[in-house]
Amino acid sequence: MINGMLWFDNRDDCSLVEKLERAAAHYERRFHTRPTLCIVHPMMVVGSPDVMPGLEIRRSNDVLPNHFWLGLKETHRSAA
């Protein structure tokens, strides 16, 4: 991910999926495309990170708890 949007959600009354759906919807309204990658703090994801179809979840200690870094996965193209 080269560019992204940082989203904060510390609500206790929502599941991780609900938080991701809300963040992804805001990203789509702002950038007119769905995010394909979300980086979160490791403690945010318990078990399998496959929680939303089409959105890859990666864990990183560089992201604070309750923060969601959303963007597009980079595609590597070979020079032709």
User: What is the value of pTM for the model shown?
Assistant: 0.85
pLDDT tens digit sequence for 46-73: 776 667 889 999 999 999 999 999 999 9
Greatest distance between any 2 Cα atoms in the chain:
51
Domain of 60, in residue numbers: 4-71
Domain membership flag for residue 78: no
pLDDT of 34-47, one tens digit each? 999 999 999 998 77
Residue 29 lies in a domain: yes
The answer to whether residue 18 is domain-embedded is yes
77 lies in a domain? no
- E-only strand ranges, 1-80: 4-8, 37-40, 56-59, 67-71
Please report whether residue 10 resides in a domain.
yes
- Let me know if residue 76 belongs to a domain: no
CA separation for the pair 19, 23 (Å, rounded): 6
- Total tally of structural domains belonging to the chain: 1
Neighbours of 45 (CB within 10 A): 16
